[in-house]
Structure 1
Amino acid sequence: MALSRLSALPAPVRWLAPPAALLGCGLLLLGNLGSGEVAPPVPSAGAAPFCAALDRALPQSVQGHRRQDPSPASPYTAAWASSPRTVLRCGIARPDYLDDDPLANAPEINGVQWGFTSDGAGGHRFVTTLRRAYVEVTVPEGAYPNYADPLPALSDAVKATVPEGL
């Protein structure tokens, strides 16, 4: 029955339908590349309330990039822009690279110290130091003119919601 309806359509419509369907599927997939999954951390019971407060205090845009949170939705993750995307995760485990000297490579921005390292793909990974919850910000290569551009806006929210201390 469906085949008879399809054969009743003009030939150009029948010929263009499969490529149009494939193009639509391809565009749908491309549109969802920037909203991929980010594994939310599992913060300690002591850090979780600070992370939830931070999530509410985070800006809706950073350097002109609007907030587009990753899936699955979590009060412990946030993101800005779609591609490349800056991702914040709160309540992560203390990263190993802070073991050497946590303040040796830790600029202070708006009252918050950030340790940082390469993300292995040309971008940078920043983690707060000396705070009651570790907050990680991953800034991919090319997301901003300067890799530290998002930190001032995020530092203000961290400073207001995640107290100093270990």
Structure 2
Amino acid sequence: MTRELRAPRFLSALPAPVRWLAVPTALACTVVVLIGSWGPPADPDIETPEPRGKAAEYCRALAAGLPQELLGHARKDPSPASPYVAAWASSPRIVLRCGVPHPEGLVDEKQEEIAPTINDVTWWPEPLGDGGYRFTATQRAAFVEVTVPGGATGNPLDAAAALSDLVKVAIP
């Protein structure tokens, strides 16, 4: 006793060529939808700042002038793209964020007097656990943060120094 395989009723009403193509077409559409949804993942490591007003304008001006290469590292911005975040290299990477809040570790003006100043830009240093540093440009209309993980450069301050002139021009 053999059973004959039959197409479902809704397919049997269709002409033969359409029935033959229904399953492959559905499969192809499914594959296209799946591949289309595989975009680059959002970068959970980097929080995107949301500056407002003039600070946002200054940050966009800074973003327009940022280099495609920094200290020999190619620019590779995180996803999703933002005018307030830039990154160079992939691992370890140097990350610039513009429009960040006031650094928590900076509590009074006397501390800023000991922070390094490069080309009239004062950078507040905060050591990271991996041997790197986070430098925040203070005394500006918008705070700019540059995170330099351990091993990204020979001297962590080099990245802040390389960006000082751009910060000075874009953010009063």
- TM-score under structure 2 normalisation? 0.71
Q: Equivalent of 1:115, from 124, 145, 152?
A: 124
Alignment of 1:93-104 (within 5 A): 93-100=101-108, 101-104=110-113
Between the aligned partners of 1:119 and 1:158, the Cα distance in structure 2 is 22
Shift of 1:152: 2.1
Matched, 1:44 2:44: no
Stretch deviating more after TM superposition (119-128 or 89-98): 119-128
Shift of 1:120: 2.7
Instruction: Give the root-mean-square deviation of aligned CA atoms.
Output: 1.8
Between the aligned partners of 2:58 and 2:50, the Cα distance in structure 1 is 13
Between the aligned partners of 1:105 and 1:43, the Cα distance in structure 2 is 27
1:54: which partner in 2?
62
Q: Equivalent of 1:157, from 133, 147, 166?
A: 166
Q: Equivalent of 1:84, from 89, 92, 96?
A: 92
Between the aligned partners of 2:101 and 2:157, the Cα distance in structure 1 is 22
Between the aligned partners of 2:98 and 2:134, the Cα distance in structure 1 is 13
Between the aligned partners of 2:161 and 2:153, the Cα distance in structure 1 is 13
Q: Equivalent of 1:129, from 138, 143, 149?
A: 138
Between the aligned partners of 2:156 and 2:130, the Cα distance in structure 1 is 13
Between the aligned partners of 1:142 and 1:105, the Cα distance in structure 2 is 25
Aligned to 1:41, the other structure's residue is in SS state: coil
Residues 13-33 of structure 1, C-alpha deviation per residue, up to 9 Å, x if partnerless?
xxxxxxxxxxxxxxxxxxx89
Shift of 1:84: 0.2
Stretches of 4+ aligned residues off by more than 6 angstroms? none
Stretch deviating more after TM superposition (116-125 or 59-68): 116-125
Between the aligned partners of 1:119 and 1:48, the Cα distance in structure 2 is 27
Between the aligned partners of 2:87 and 2:104, the Cα distance in structure 1 is 24
Identity %: 52
Between the aligned partners of 2:137 and 2:161, the Cα distance in structure 1 is 13
2:151: which partner in 1?
142
Between the aligned partners of 1:105 and 1:121, the Cα distance in structure 2 is 23
Shift of 1:71: 1.3
- TM-score under structure 1 normalisation? 0.73
Larger Rg: 2
